[in-house]
Structures are given as C-alpha cells and as structure tokens.
Amino acid sequence: MKSIKSVNDFVIKFANVNGTGSASANSLFAKAIFRMGVPVSPKNIFPSNIQGLPTWYEVRVSDKGYLGRRGGVDIALSVNPQSMADDIREVEPGGYFIYDNTKPLDLRNHRNDITIIGLPLTRICNKEYDDPRQRQLFKNVIYVGALAALLDIDFKVLTGLVEDQFKGKKNLVLPNIHALELGHQYARANVECPIGIRVEHSDMVGDKILLDGNEALGLGALYGGATVAAWYPITPSTSVVDAFEKYAKRVRIDPGTGRRNYAIVQGEDELAAIGMAIGASWNGSRAFTATSGPGVSLMSEFLGLAYFAEIPTVLFNVQRAGPSTGMPTRTQQSDVLACAYASHGDTKQVLLFPSTPKECFDFGAQAFDLAERLQTPIILMSDLDLGMNDNMSEPLSWDDDRKYDRGKVMTEEELEAGTEFGRYLDVDGDAICYRTYPGTHPTRGSFFTRGTSRNEYAVYSENGEDYEANMLRLLRKWDTINEHVPAPVIVDCGRETDTAVLYFGTSEESSREALDYLAEDGIFMNAMRVRAFPFNSEVQQFIESHAQVFVIEQNRDAQLRTLLMAEFEFGPDILKSVLCFDGTPISARNIRKQIKKHLNGDNVLPLHRKASLSGVEEIL
C-alpha cells in the first residue's frame, strides 16, 4: 500500500457526536495550523439537532491557499460509532483513519488500502477523570494532542492558544494543557510519529484573520451605524444579531447615563422583524434584520411595500438549503430569484453577494449607505458556509474619516426656506426623490407613506397615468442603482480564450482552484465574480466577449443563470450551468468534473456497475 505523503496540503475530517463539546477542540486544531502560518479552511457540517446526532468538522489545509472544499478526505478522525462505517469508506486510498479503539473496529469496516490508527481515547479518559462531563469534554482535547504528535504540529503553538483562549483563568488553562499532553504522549509512545502527512511552519497566512461571516456582518452593522436590530431566531442567521449585540454592549453604552445607543427587539416572527426595521428606517434610524430562506418568504410582502413606498431597508439573508424547511443546517445559494424579485407585482430588489468575511463587513456597513441613498431594500446574500464557518480573510479595517451617506433628506431649514417638497417628485433626474423624517417641520414636509399608488406629492391616486409614471420612475431608479452597487471582479487568465466562468459568493474559492486544475490540463478560462444585482454593464460585456460562460452556483435550478438570461436575454447556448445543491459547499473537483464534461461534449455517462462496500450494487 502506498500511503499519502504531503506537507501542509491535506483534508482532515473529524466525526463527532453533536453536543459533546467537540467544536471548540476542533477549532483549536484548525487555529493551531493557522498560527503556524498555513492557510486553513474549517467547515462545520452539523445536523439540525441539539444533542446526539452525527456532526463533522472538515479542515482543508493548503499551503497554496486554496480555501474551498477540495473533495475527498485524507485523514478521518472518528469518535462517533454511529457514522464510522461511512467515515472510513470516505477516506482516499492511501489515507489515514484514526479512531477510538477502546472498542475494537468492526471487521466489516476494515480496509487494507488505508492506514488505520487506534487511540484508546475513552480508556484514557476513564482512567484520568471521574466526572462524566469531563470525560466527554477532555476526550476531544486529548485527540487534538495526539494529532499534534501524528502530524508534527508545534506543541508550543497549541499550548499558547489554550493560554490565549482562557486568559486569566488558570484553573481552565492547566487541565486543558494536561489533556493535550495526555494525547500527545500516548501517540508518541505508541504510534510511529509523524505519519506521512505533516504540518510545517510556513508564511502563507500574512496578516489574515480567521472569522465567520455572521460575526463580520454584525460588526458591519455596528460600524455602519445601525441603531435598531429586529429579528426572529433562525439558523443560520441568528449569530448575526448575537454579534451585533455583543459589540454594541461594549461600545454603544452612553458613558454619562449608562443607557444604550441601540435597540434590539426579538420579534414574534419575521413579519414583525422586517416591519420594525422598516418602521425605524422610515423614522430616520439605520435599522436591519437578519434571516434565512423561510424568513425571506414571510418578509416578501413587506419587501414589496419598502420597494414601492421607497423606504430604506437592510436585510441580511444567510441562505440555507430550501425549499420549505429544507436542510436547515446545510448551505445553498438558492434564494437568488426569491430575493431578486421578492414580493408580488413588478418588483426588483438590490442584492449584494459577499464572498469573504471582509466583504461581509464592508458590504454590511455599505448596505446602510446604499439603502438610504437609493431608498429601497438592500438584501445582502450570505450563506451558511460563509456565515457560520471560520473563513480565512483579509483583516477588517475602517476609514476613520468616513461619513455615512444619509441620502436625500430634506431638512427643517430647507422646508422653512420654501423648497418645494414632493415625496415622489424627481427633481434632479436620478429618479430618487427627497424624503423627510416625521416631526421635521410644523406645517411643511409631512406626507403619507403608503403601499397604494399615489401621485408625486404622495396623494392617493388611482389614475393610471400617475401609477405608470411612478412605475417607470422606479425603473429609471434601477439605472441609478446600477451605478452605486459594487462592480464585478474579473480575473483574466492571460491567454487567448473564448470560455469563461462566472460565480458569486462562496463559490469563489473552489472555482479559482478548479481553474488552476483546468489550466494544468491545458484548459484556460477567464473568470468573473458577480458582486451585486443589478448587474452592471461590465457583466454584460464580459459575457458577450465569450462564446461560452459557465455559471457556477449552489442551487438546483441555476438561479443566477436564469436572472442573467432574464436581464440580458442571453440564451442557453452561451450560459452553461455548473451546479451543486447537496447542502455541502461546492468543491473544486466537482467544478472541474462538470466543466470537463461540458467541454468534451460528453454529457451522457456510460452505465457501469460497481460492487459497493456494503455489497449492494450501485449504478454510477
């Protein structure tokens, strides 16, 4: 058997039981490698459950800086008998399977083409600890210690992390370090260390940080000046408001009075959550709500109101696998169409597509400027993969001279001076009209906000001409919006080519990696990352300058492709689909495979049969 040998380039997958405290030990592992200067990309694959079901933590380690899912597992570490048969089957030939051998491995699961390493984790714990909870928690820390020996991870980095994590809590530092040592020593004494896969100090991380997108969004809202957050709990967006609250408690308490310069209300449902955000924005506060697919469905009526009545609204949508309840703890990019045309009647909503925590922060803050400048809902489209996993990212930064763009708001002085005010009167041709905050002037500038049609002075009107003029102005406003939203990012491959890929959000990393693989095979393609809807003219030009563009996205129905076809009238001859919608982040290998299948014109797979390990024949 030929074992996999590599330095700073592998995929390890931890198989745990949900609710056993594995998450913090696993992230300790990932962060230790990150601190050694090696790029990591950890991903939680967790069930919709509090305790008991299988959960996985997959860490991609890549000196080249590939952060997407690669596909395949080089090392599996299993402490969950429930999923052990599947976990061992998933290991690449030549890979490693590390498990708790307190209970011997079921012979039916044995494989000859991988290295199997047993660690008696339960036995060590039972001997060391009396308290059942400690036995459970430290088991995780012990295997991290053992992995340090097996993979040659710098032990000092691990102990340093523990000290940082429990700063000032000595009674927590020492027991954790002791547990790390227990595992480390056992592995050193009983297994040949290191195995073929190793970690070495490197300098590929630079000043980057490890942060999840939801925390970055919460910070973006804080820096963007949000004062009102209204929300309803839903996975995977809940931690956005949690993060906003955590930092607001630190920096938004009035020093004189001890009172809060923010308000957070947990609504009775998503309808109320967005209603509150709209009410607060109407009244001149920066407000937001955060939700996921089912919440978007519920918020659609209000999104139509905010579009039609032109009320700034910020909505963070952390997408998950739909439809309906779908797979609530798995990722997808499947709300594109539901959000782009949210609500009944003719509507178009502005979407932002961040792909890193840094962009979550930047777009999160910018969303408030855009909402107030453009007087319309801004829907930021994150997803579970970006929102809930630690992603390696450029550090966050803020220009201290930056001023908020509060948009067109007529002041008391302007009203007093007799400036003409019509809430829906386009005075300067950009199709965006002045608004007033309630309470501005005793006799001028008041108006009635409504979801019914009205004339330029906000007076109720069922006159078809008034209605049509207003709808056409909203369409002209779409052109103004186009000039304000983030432009796409284009990556030129530097070769003559008439094929390209187009992607957005979390498909970026895997797409970039897949392009490198394809280049190795002699297939060169340009790339464009779309960052907003409306698509600006660069998107159109890019597509027009290629014969074929592969639209890579994480949903079943090729929703971004549909949107491109609807907005630009491109046909299926130009736009091809590369899709992944199984709830896991799209992998580089998957993208490469699908693109090659298209390019070879080989879109019919021959049927061939293969005996599977379970003895049941599978048709591939």
Partner 1 sequence: MSYQLPKFRHPELPVNDLGYTKAEYEGAISTLCAGCGHDSISGAIVRACHELSIEPHKIAKLSGIGCSSKTPTYFLGNSHGFNSVHGRMPSVVTGAALANRDLLYMGISGDGDTASIGMGQFAHVARRNLNMVYIIMNNGCYGLTKGQDSATADRGSASKKGDPNIYSSIDLCGTALQMGATFIGRSFSGDKEQLVPLIKAAMSHRGFALIDVISPCVTFNNNLASTKSYEFVREHSEATGTIDFVPMHKEITTEYEPGSSHEVTLHDGSSIHLYKVDDSFDPFNRGSAMGALEEHRNAGNILTGLIYMNKDSRDLHEVIETSQRPLNELEEVDLCPGNKMLVNINASLR
Q: Which is nearer to partner 1, 205 or 595 (CB)?
A: 205
> Cβ 205 to partner 1, closest distance in Å?
8
- What is the rounded distance in angstroms from the CA atom of residue 227 to the CA atom of residue 252? 9
Q: Which is nearer to partner 1, 93 or 448 (CB)?
A: 448
> Cβ 13 to partner 1, closest distance in Å?
24
Q: Which is nearer to partner 1, 110 or 450 (CB)?
A: 450
| Cα 7–Cα 8–Cα 14 angle in degrees, nearest 5 | 110
Q: Which is nearer to partner 1, 195 or 287 (CB)?
A: 287
Give the dihedral sign, CA 305/535/406/471.
Answer: negative
Host H or E run for residue 337? helix 336-340
> Cβ 60 to partner 1, closest distance in Å?
18
Contact 513, 476 (CB under 8 A): no
Q: Which is nearer to partner 1, 122 or 449 (CB)?
A: 449
> Cβ 323 to partner 1, closest distance in Å?
24
- What is the rounded distance in angstroms from the CA atom of residue 584 to the CA atom of residue 320? 10
Q: Which is nearer to partner 1, 268 or 569 (CB)?
A: 268
Q: Which is nearer to partner 1, 311 or 432 (CB)?
A: 311
Strands ordered across the beta sheet of 575-579: 489-491, 526-529, 499-503, 548-553, 575-579
3-state secondary structure of 142: helix
Phi-psi category of residue 494: left, alpha or beta, with phi > 0 → left and psi -120 to 50 → alpha:
left
**What letter would DSSP give residue 474?**
H
Q: Which is nearer to partner 1, 167 or 495 (CB)?
A: 167
Q: Which is nearer to partner 1, 441 or 597 (CB)?
A: 441
Contact 381, 418 (CB under 8 A): no
> Cβ 457 to partner 1, closest distance in Å?
12
- Helix 213-223 vs helix 357-374: angle between axes, to the nearest 10 degrees? 40
> Cβ 275 to partner 1, closest distance in Å?
3
The string of DSSP letters for 370-436 reads: HHHHHTSEEEEEEEHHHHHSEEEEPPP---TT------SB--HHHHHTT----TT--SSSSS---B-
Using the structure block, give the residue that is written with the tokens 């049941």: 616
> Cβ 231 to partner 1, closest distance in Å?
12
Q: Which is nearer to partner 1, 369 or 513 (CB)?
A: 369
Contact 27, 390 (CB under 8 A): yes
> Cβ 289 to partner 1, closest distance in Å?
10
Task: Report the candidate in 407, 397, 409, 406 with the shortest Cα–Cα distance to residue 223.
Answer: 397
Using the structure block, give the residue that is written with the tokens 């595992």: 183
> Cβ 272 to partner 1, closest distance in Å?
4
Contacts of 357 (CB under 8 A, 6+ apart): 209, 211, 212, 213, 215, 216, 386, 391, 393, 396
> Cβ 77 to partner 1, closest distance in Å?
25
> Cβ 472 to partner 1, closest distance in Å?
23
> Cβ 10 to partner 1, closest distance in Å?
22
Q: Which is nearer to partner 1, 5 or 450 (CB)?
A: 450
> Cβ 519 to partner 1, closest distance in Å?
32
Q: Which is nearer to partner 1, 102 or 453 (CB)?
A: 453
Q: Which is nearer to partner 1, 323 or 442 (CB)?
A: 442
> Cβ 375 to partner 1, closest distance in Å?
15
Task: Report the candidate in 126, 74, 71 with the shortest Cα–Cα distance to residue 102.
Answer: 126
Beta 228-231 vs 287-291: how paired, if at all?
parallel
Residue 501, CA distances (Å) to 339, 353, 436, 477, 557 in order? 23, 16, 45, 30, 17
Instruction: Calculate Rg over the CA atoms of the chain.
Output: 27
Q: Which is nearer to partner 1, 230 or 528 (CB)?
A: 230
Using the structure block, give the residue that is written with the tokens 């005075």: 427
- What is the rounded distance in angstroms from the CA atom of residue 99 to the CA atom of residue 6? 21
Beta 350-352 vs 532-533: how paired, if at all?
antiparallel
> Cβ 280 to partner 1, closest distance in Å?
4
Q: Which is nearer to partner 1, 302 or 535 (CB)?
A: 302
The three-state DSSP-derived secondary structure of 550-575 is EEEECCCCCHHHHHHHHHHCCCCCCE
Strands ordered across the beta sheet of 377-383: 263-266, 228-231, 287-291, 313-319, 377-383, 350-352, 532-533
